[in-house]
Structure 1
Amino acid sequence: MAPAMDAKTSRISDDDRLLNMWLHNRSGNTARAYRADVGSFRQWADKPLADVVLDDLQGWFDCLKGSDATRRRKLASIKSALAFGVRVGFLDVDVGAALRLKRGRDRLSERILTEEDVRRIIDMEECPRKRVALRVLYFMGLRISEMCALTWRDMTRRQQGGVASVFGKGNKTRHVLVPAKLWKELVAVRADNWRPETPIVPGHDGSPLHLRAAHRLVKRAAKRAGLPDASAHWFRHAHASHALDNGAPAHVVQQTLGHSDLKTTTRYAHVREGDGGANYLKD
C-alpha cells in the first residue's frame, strides 16, 4: 500500500512542484524574481500551467506595464519555466516556444554614466558609509545584491588593497580586486568590534544593508546629482564601459563582472575615434 500523503504534501499543486524543481539550487535573489514573474502570470491566466495556450501568453505580455526590457525579461522567465516543464514531463506542450518577439533596440548606451557623472554622484554624497557603497558598486562592478551580501569573511588583504570572494549569479564564486584606496575607506567605516560576519557595507545601525535600502541609497544619490533615472546597475554598466575604454582587456572585465559569455562584456566596448582594425595589421 502506498504511503498516505501528509497534509502539507496534499495541498501543493503540480504547478508549485514544477516551480520548486525549476528553481532548485538557484540563488535566492534569482529564485525570488523568477517566482514573482511566474506568480504574476499564473494570477493573470487563472488556470494551471498545463492548460495554458499561446493566446494566454500573448495576452499577458500585451498587458504588461514597464519598459520593453522589463517586459521581455518577465516573458523569458515564463518561457523558461514552461520549457523546463516539458523537459521533465510535467507539461505536454511548450507553448512558449511559439511566441517569438522582434529583437528590441539595444538601449544599453542610454544606461551608461560618464566618468564625470559617476564622480558627481559620489562626490555629492556626504555620508561616508553611503559614499563607500557607491564606490564599491563602481570600482568593484558588483551587483547590488552581491554588495549587500559581502562580509569581512569574504575579504583578503593584499599588499596593495585586497581581494573579495564574491558569491554571485548562477551560484558562482569569483575573485574581485579591491583597490587600495577603497580598502582603506571600507576599513574606516568598519565597526571597532567587527567580526568576520560583519558586512563590508553596513546599514545605518551596523546590521547588513537591506537590498531595498541599498536601492534607495543609490536612487537618492543619483537624483541629488541630477540623474534621477540612474540605478545601482548603472554603476556596473559604467565599470565595464570605463574599464574597457581605458584599455582593460575584455577577459579581465569579464572575470570581474562574472559574465559567462565574453559577448556580454564586449557590448560595453566603444570604438575610439581614429581607431580601426587596420591599425593592428602589419603592412
Structure 2
Amino acid sequence: MSRTDVSDASELLARFDRYLRHQRGLSDNTVRAYRGDLVHLTQFIAGEPGDPDTVLPRLGLADLRAWLASMSSHGLSRTTMARRGAAARTFYTWASDAELVPSNPAARLASARASSTLPEVVSPSDIVSMLELARTRCDDGDLLHLRDWAVAELLYATGMRVGELAAANTSDLDFDERLIRVRGKGNKERIVPFGLPAARALQHWLADGRPALVCPATDDALMLGRRGQRADQRQLRDAIHRLCRAAGIPDVAPHALRHSVATHLLTEGSDLRSVQEVLGHASLNTTQRYTHVSADRLRAAYQLAHPRA
C-alpha cells in the first residue's frame, strides 16, 4: 500500500497497531502506550489533535528532537521519554519499510536512557503478614476472599505480572509438579514453579470459591470476579491494595511483589539466570537491577572466600 492509499485519519495508526500486535507480538498495554505517544507527537506538531496520516509522514529529525526536548523541559521522567523515543523509532522504521513515509527521520534519533531507579521491595515479614491475613479472613464466607488469598500467594510464589495472572487459565496449572504456564510479554510462554502455600490457596479457591461464581459467561479463567467473568488487572490490583491495608503494612502495588520475589531469591543465593527465567525477562540486564539488594550477601561471601579479604 502506498502513502496515497492511506486516506482515513485513523488508518495509519490502525495499521501500526496491527503490526505491533500480530507481527511484533507486543502486549495490549505496550500497543496502547505507543499509540498514545504518537498521538501526543501529532498534537505537539499541530498544536492540537491532528490527523496522523498528514502529520506523521512529513516530520523530520528536527521535529522529533524538538518533541523530546519539550518533554524534558516539562519535567517528564526519563523512563517516559525513553519510551516515547522508542515509539517514534519503531513507528518510523515500520512505516519506512512499508513505504508509508518518504524517509525515516528517527534513524538518527537519540533518546533518553530509562531511569535506573531501584525497584520497590517489600520485606519478607510484611509479606508474611499480608499472606497470613489473606488466609485467616477466608473464614467469613466471602468467596472473593478465597480468590484474593490465591492471588496474593501466587503473585509472590511466582513473581508473575498481574496481567499475566489475569490472563491465566485453570488449564495452565499442574498441581502434580506445582507448575504454572505463564504467557508473558510478546506472548512468550514460560513455566514457573510455585510452593505448597500457593498450592493450598489455589486448591481452596478452585474447590470452594470459583465453582460458586461460575456462570454461562465463564471461560477457563483462573481468577474470576464477583459476576463470574474473568477478573481484570484492576480487580487483582485492588485485591492486593485491600490486603495491604487490612494487614497494616505499607500499601504497595502488585508489581512490588514481583520485585520482592527477585530480591528475595537473589538474597537467598539464587543465580541471576534462574531469576531471569522465573520472571520472564528478555534481557539479563533487567534482572541485574535487583543485585543491589544482595550487596551485603556479596560482601559477606567475599570476606569468607577471598584470601586477602
Q: Same fold (TM over 0.5)?
A: yes
- Aligned partner of 1:233 in structure 2 is 255
For 2:19 and 2:301, the matched residues in 1 are separated by: 50
- Aligned partner of 2:116 in structure 1 is 106
**Kindly tell me: are residues 223 and 167 of structure 1, through their superposed partners in 2, closer, same or farther at Cα, counting changes over 3 Å?**
same
Alignment partner of 2:276: what SS?
A: helix
**Kindly tell me: are residues 82 and 58 of structure 1, through their superposed partners in 2, closer, same or farther at Cα, counting changes over 3 Å?**
farther
Q: Per-residue displacement from partner, 1:189-245 (whole Å, max 9, x unpaired)?
A: 1234779943322223332111121222223333453423x2111111111110111
Q: Which one has the bigger helix percentage? A: 2
Q: Per-residue displacement from partner, 1:255-275 (whole Å, max 9, x unpaired)?
A: 111112223223212221422
In 2, are the aligned partners of 1:79 and 1:97 still within 8 Å (CA)? Answer: no
> Is the aligned partner of 1:275 residue 2:301?
yes
For 1:97 and 1:222, the matched residues in 2 are separated by: 46
Alignment partner of 2:147: what SS?
A: helix
Q: Which residue among 201, 205, 208 is the counterpart of 1:189?
A: 205
Query: Gaps (5+ residues) in structure 2?
Result: 138-144
For 2:159 and 2:133, the matched residues in 1 are separated by: 20
Query: Gaps (5+ residues) in structure 1?
Result: none
For 2:74 and 2:272, the matched residues in 1 are separated by: 39
**Kindly tell me: are residues 62 and 220 of structure 1, through their superposed partners in 2, closer, same or farther at Cα, counting changes over 3 Å?**
farther
- Aligned partner of 1:17 in structure 2 is 15
Question: CA offset at residue 13 of structure 1?
Answer: 3.6
RMSD of equivalent CA atoms: 3.2
In 2, are the aligned partners of 1:153 and 1:197 still within 8 Å (CA)? Answer: no
TM-score calculated relative to the size of structure 1: 0.80
- Aligned partner of 2:128 in structure 1 is 119
Alignment of 1:119-198 (within 5 A): 119-125=128-134, 126=137, 127-158=145-176, 162-190=178-206, 191-192=210-211, 197-198=219-220
Question: CA offset at residue 36 of structure 1?
Answer: 3.0
In 1, are the aligned partners of 2:168 and 2:182 still within 8 Å (CA)? Answer: yes
Please say which of residues 137-146 and 9-18 is displaced more in the overlay.
9-18
- Aligned partner of 2:140 in structure 1 is none
- Aligned partner of 1:79 in structure 2 is 89
Please say which of residues 169-178 and 90-99 is displaced more in the overlay.
90-99
For 1:45 and 1:116, the matched residues in 2 are separated by: 51
**Kindly tell me: are residues 113 and 173 of structure 1, through their superposed partners in 2, closer, same or farther at Cα, counting changes over 3 Å?**
same
TM-score calculated relative to the size of structure 2: 0.74
Question: CA offset at residue 24 of structure 1?
Answer: 3.1
Question: CA offset at residue 173 of structure 1?
Answer: 0.8
Task: State the identity %.
Answer: 22
The count of aligned residue pairs is 270
The one-letter code matched in structure 2 to 1:118 is: I
> Is the aligned partner of 1:51 residue 2:55?
no
In 1, are the aligned partners of 2:121 and 2:263 still within 8 Å (CA)? Answer: yes
For 2:239 and 2:42, the matched residues in 1 are separated by: 33
The one-letter code matched in structure 2 to 1:30 is: T
